[in-house]
Amino acid sequence: MSHGVAPSILSADFGNLAHDIEMLNKSQADWIHFDIMDGVFVPNISFGFPVLKAVKKIAQKPLDVHLMITEPDHYIEQFAQAGASVLTVHYEACKHLHRTISQIKSLGLKAGVSLNPHTPVFLLQEIISELDLVLIMSVNPGFGGQSFIENSYKKIAELKTLIEKNQSKCLIEVDGGVDLNNYKKLVQAGVNMLVAGNTVFASENRIKTIEKLKEA
């Protein structure tokens, strides 16, 4: 299958957010990526339900919501109601991961699990068949604009092997430091969905940049 691109609105212009969402609607972007941060699980605070609901009203792409928060189980239903299409939780934040994934799927959403850079892929072997998506963090979560961690390629290869071994249909998503210099190597390694923030929103021609990231 061809790979997709999910621009992260963490890097968007919040003074002109509606304009940026309309740009994404017109672009070849596949999803719109939301990084939800609580200042506890990661050292930053981003946005919550009001922004998600506002974007949902005008977005014509699925909303890919990445929860970088503690106790995500408390908010799953609210994020579903706010408009999420894909909901990803962190392995490190879930005490009962299978229960969390089951709850997400019961609400009709695609369910994903994210791994921080220090978290090994093999920890997902008991649940990989239940997942729609695994999000590999290729930077330490919390802030945009960080440099790509090269060891991520090794983790992507391990994850691809785990998926194939279990005959899972799980997608591989990567977030952090994705740019025009490394996106092709990531896709060749097995990535299905590229999350790009600064690479898109800091470019002079955002639609062209997204188009470039979609090239094989």
Q: Which residues are catalytic?
A: 35, 175
Task: Tell me which DSSP letter residue 120 carries.
Answer: -
In the chain, which ranges are E strands? 4-7, 32-37, 63-68, 86-90, 110-115, 133-137, 171-175, 193-196
Q: What is the rounded distance in angstroms from the CA atom of residue 201 to the CA atom of residue 198?
A: 5
Q: What is the rounded distance in angstroms from the CA atom of residue 194 to the CA atom of residue 89?
A: 17
